[in-house]
Structure 1
Amino acid sequence: MSKLSTIGVIGLGKMGRGMANSIQRAGLSVIGLDAYAPAREACAADGLRVTDSLAELAGLADAIVLSLPNSDIVRALLEGPEGLIALARPGTILIDTTTADPKTMQALIPALREAGVRFVDAPVSGGPAGAAKGTLTMFIGAAAEDLEAATPVLAALGEKRFHIGEAGAGYIAKLVNNLLVASHLLTASEAFRIAEAAGVRTEQLLESINAGSGRSGVTLYNYPSRILNQGFDSGFTMQLMRKDVRLAQSLMRESGLDLPVSRTVGAIWQGSDKELADQEDFNRIVTIDTNQRQAH
């Protein structure tokens, strides 16, 4: 497809709405779809064209961006006689920004190719604010020619775009990224708890940590912007991070690995559902008590 004109966006929640607005701001026409009527109405109020018909969107769109909660929803959208694989025009570029199960999605790639649909997996980091500003970080898996064709849309969405490898590689990269974030939140919270117990407050410690080799994205950004100020307002939920950690654990096992640190991180996150509800901000993981005293 030589020129992209109309871009479909499926999934108009916190991320998808921002993406749709960023794409339109870049000079491309947008048509959005969401099963939830209030989400469509909010986007319509932004001046975006919306529809509740997948067939209408597929018939108009040169490229389609998916922003959905998980790979099961993506698969349900794609498969079947009324699914997107059947409805999309040959040459359509499908860009999936979902943090998805690589195994599930890679199994769908042959059917997409057979239908003539070009595929780019591009999970994102940066939250709703990054989506709204068009400053997301993107982990991209795609054939080189498909990546080139999708670049006008990707450039509208992401300031930092990394081509990891062939289709499916972006999903793997994003899971590794989120496993690191999940791990860093736990290790930082425990390190700061040690300091607090020894008489040094986190506020006293953080600037020096961020100037030293112990810093991470969690200490540089999450702690000052989301945690110490008690904001807990990232827009990314415990439910979503638990899902991503679970997928990373599955990837570990499927790769024939049993890594103790990653296994422990997974156990803590999955066990946190007893203390933190699904819709709580994921940064609240630092509030759970991981201290275990051995009985003597």
Structure 2
Amino acid sequence: MKNIGVIGCGAMGKGLVKNLINNGYKVYAYDPSQDALAICEALGAIPQPSPFEAARQADLVISSLPGPSIVRDVMMGGSGVFSALKPHSFVLDMSTIDPKTAQELNQAAKEQGIHFYDCPLSGGPKGADAGTLTIMVGGDDRYLPDIRPVLESIGKDIFLLGPSGSGQVAKLCHNMLVALTTAGLGEVLAVGEKAGVSRSQLSEVIQSGSAHNRVLTVFGENILQHTYENVLFSLEHMNKDIHLYKETAEFYSEDSPLGQLVCDIYEKAMEQGKGKLDSSAVCGSI
């Protein structure tokens, strides 16, 4: 599998394209943004006019798209990816969507002889650029040896978590915990500051003690300095992910009172017009 189609070449996708090319793959890239395509072309990718054309020339397609509805349209539309691919081709969907949609796409792909995997990512644009992403994989383990070289060219830690949809379950749980931790940091740092302990001092205590967390490592500068314009992961994307988590919990009849609370907090931030800011901007809404 040396020919790869990449659909969605934004903040994450361009890093995927770069590392695939650096690992010897021929990449056919599509994005509705001509600026994004120009960046990929400069990296060595071959721009394509549509998802169908990107897939038609590929043995494997990677998608990195904003949400469930667009993934479904790109894959299953009249001129979608599934109709362009040859039998026994692969699709690795690296978008963050809900597990139910992933399972529906897997079934539709299977009916056409295509192998579909949900492969959401953690590590952000920096991890995508460095090729050090965490990849959460849901799908048939029989074909993992076929796709592992591709996954290893863009990621560092690869987890096969179970059948179709499992990768998305892990990603949504992961992001809910990130969102909850971020909101918690916003509250405790505000309380500590009001009581006379500086944010920087309190953050040092937190990172030295049992409350140590990677959220403060990654988003700490934004949280402490209120530099929410420095977008590491947008608030609107986090809001989408945690609501997908809440829908998943409801689908499986599992109570999620903390999930509901976090969704309410992020909705408040969205109503305040903070969607395009970094997700840590929620700290200013508490």
Q: Same fold (TM over 0.5)?
A: yes
1:64 counterpart = 2:64: no
| Alpha-carbon shift at residue 81 of structure 1 (Å) | 2.9
| Alpha-carbon shift at residue 230 of structure 1 (Å) | 4.0
Match of 2:257 in 1: 260
Contact 1:66 1:95 in 2 (8 A): yes
Alignment of 1:12-31 (within 5 A): 12-31=9-28
Contact 1:8 1:30 in 2 (8 A): yes
Structure 2 residue identity aligned to 1:228: L
1:154 counterpart = 2:123: no
Match of 1:227 in 2: 223
Contact 1:64 1:94 in 2 (8 A): yes
| Alpha-carbon shift at residue 126 of structure 1 (Å) | 1.0
CA distance in 2, matches of 1:138, 1:55: 25
Match of 1:52 in 2: 49
Structure 1: where are the runs of 5+ without partners? Answer: 291-296
- Farther-moved stretch of structure 1 (243-252 vs 264-273): 264-273
Structure 2: where are the runs of 5+ without partners? Answer: none
Match of 2:86 among 81, 86, 89: 89
Structure 2 residue identity aligned to 1:77: V
CA distance in 1, matches of 2:169, 2:33: 29
SS of 1:170's partner is helix
Structure 1 residue identity aligned to 2:26: S
CA deviation profile, 1:79-101 (whole Å, cap 9, x unmatched) = 13311111111111100110001
| Alpha-carbon shift at residue 181 of structure 1 (Å) | 0.5
SS of 1:219's partner is helix
CA deviation profile, 1:106-141 (whole Å, cap 9, x unmatched) = 122211001111111110011111111111111111
Match of 2:198 among 190, 198, 201: 201
| Alpha-carbon shift at residue 199 of structure 1 (Å) | 0.8
CA distance in 2, matches of 1:15, 1:122: 13
CA distance in 1, matches of 2:219, 2:246: 23
CA distance in 1, matches of 2:10, 2:94: 13
Match of 1:105 in 2: 102
1:142 counterpart = 2:150: no
SS of 2:275's partner is coil
CA distance in 1, matches of 2:190, 2:74: 45
Instruction: Report the identity percentage.
Output: 33
CA deviation profile, 1:249-275 (whole Å, cap 9, x unmatched) = 111111112322221111111222122
Q: Could you list the structure 1 runs, at least 4 aligned residues long, displaced by more than 3 angstroms after superposition.
A: 229-232
Alignment of 1:143-292 (within 5 A): 143-224=140-221, 226-232=222-228, 233-288=230-285, 290=286
| Alpha-carbon shift at residue 208 of structure 1 (Å) | 2.2
Contact 1:120 1:147 in 2 (8 A): no
| Alpha-carbon shift at residue 54 of structure 1 (Å) | 3.1
